[in-house]
Structure 1
Amino acid sequence: MKVLGIDPGTAACGYGIVDDSDGRIRALAQGCWTSGARERPELRLRRIFDGVVMLIAEHGPDAVAVEESFVGRDARIALFVGQARGAALVAAATAGVACTEYAPARVKQAVCGYGRAEKGQVARMVRMLLSLEDEPSTSHEADALAVAICHAMTPPLARMAS
């Protein structure tokens, strides 16, 4: 199973693609789309949409997994993250690829065994699980790979309940 994981955000949106076959999970691609604070919002969202469409066309994932928004103290940030999630979800729907969303705590539980793991722990576990030489370049890439790993490792019946 190939999974495209997305860590949504308008300033930085991470992506990671993993392949789970023959009992082995490996990374196929990872990266991060970034934009400047002065860039128009519709252009930021278009970059995410186009990027997801391109990755789906290039890698043909079986599923897209997106991290759910964490609503903290700043409602504006939550709104921007929600918009980025929407761009990714619409891109996947346009390509006909099923999407599943996972809460950050569930992703951390799946990857680290602890739902309140810190970003550094997530990056280290992603490196170990995928046998990477180095940790991902950014926390956004690490989180996106973690979301993809979470989906790939979730049993099919549990995925249907999500």
Structure 2
Amino acid sequence: MRVLGVDPGLTRCGVGVVDSLPGRKARMVDVGVVRSEPELSVDLRLLRVAEGLEEWLERTVPDVVAVERVFAQNNRGTVMGTAQVAGLAMVAAARRGVPVAMHTPSEVKAAVTGSGRADKEQVQRMIARILGLAELPRPADAADALALAVTHLWRPSGALQGGERNELTPAQRAWAAAERTARTSSHRGAPSRARR
């Protein structure tokens, strides 16, 4: 199986391609970053990222695209850009009929390092060890993309979009519960349309 991992970001979108090998091993095929210039308008930045993702899909022909699922961050602007780029990756994969998997950051950290609270450097070091790389993959966005791909190779069940609820991992169930709570809380505090 070949997995394209996407660590979504508007300025730097990490991309990493990993092939599965026998014995729960993996081999890096390619890694990099799709960039967009902050001085451009958001629509043009998204276009640059979309074109870059299309190029990666065309060139590497993955069996699955694994995208980071982000549901909570302090900076709303960052969350918006991340969500928009995640959507671009999902649409690009869907156009080619390639299944999409979503993995939370804590799920990825736990899969790669054994701890859902690992820092960026721990992820870089472990992904280099897992893939037998001579150097740490940089920047961190690229390492995160490889970690997403490896996570999917090791935990494929239930990660694909449209999977049954009983196939979800504990981390995915926790994410879904947190998302439902956040939606419920935001609806309670929102003014009704009739009062606007």
Report the TM range for the smaller structure's normalisation. over 0.9
2:34 and 2:53 in contact (8 A); partners too? no
Question: Post-superposition shift, 1:93?
Answer: 0.7
Matches within 5 A, 1:35-114: 35-114=36-115
Where does 1:128-143 land on structure 2 (aligned, <5 Å)?
128-143=129-144
- How big is the shift at 1:71? 2.1
Q: Aligned residue for 2:183?
A: none
The superposition leaves residues 82-125 of structure 1 with CA deviations (integer Å, 9 ceiling, x where unpaired) of 11111111111111100011000000000000000000000000
Q: Give the structure-2-normalised TM-score.
A: 0.78
Quote the residue 2:29 is aligned against: 28
* Aligned partner of residue 157 in structure 1, secondary structure: coil
User: How far 1:158 moved relative to its partner?
Assistant: 4.2
Q: How many corresponding residue pairs?
A: 161
1:70 Cα deviation (Å)? 4.5
Identity %: 39
The list of structure 1 runs, each at least 4 consecutive aligned residues, that deviate by more than 2 angstroms after superposition, is: 21-24, 156-162
Looking at structure 2, the residues matched to 15 and 84 of structure 1 have their Cα atoms a distance apart, in angstroms, of 12
- Tell me what 2:178 maps to: none
- Mapped to 1, the partners of 2:117 and 2:78 lie a distance apart of 21
Q: CA deviation at 1:36?
A: 2.1
Deviations 1:43-100 (A, max 9, x none): 2212222222222221211100001125222212111111111111111111110001
Please state whether the residue corresponding to 1:48 is helix, strand or coil: helix
Q: Distance in 1 between matches of 2:45 and 2:151?
A: 27
Gaps of 5+ in 1: none
Q: What RMSD in Å do the two structures reach over aligned CA positions? A: 1.3
Quote the Cα distance in structure 1 between the aligned partners of 2:78 and 2:53.
Answer: 21
Q: Which fold has the larger relative contact order, with Cα–Cα distance below 8 Å and residues 6 or more apart in sequence?
A: 1
Partner of 2:181: none
The answer for the alignment partner of 1:2 in structure 2 is 2
Cα distance, 1:157 vs. partner? 3.4
8 Å CA contact 2:36–2:49 kept in 1: the answer is no
Aligned equivalent of 1:145? 146
Q: Tell me which amino acid in the other structure corresponds to 1:13.
A: C
Higher Cα radius of gyration: 2
Give the counterpart letter for 2:40 in structure 1: E
2:157 alignment partner, SS class: helix
Deviations 1:3-56 (A, max 9, x none): 000000001100000000223301000000122221121222122222222222
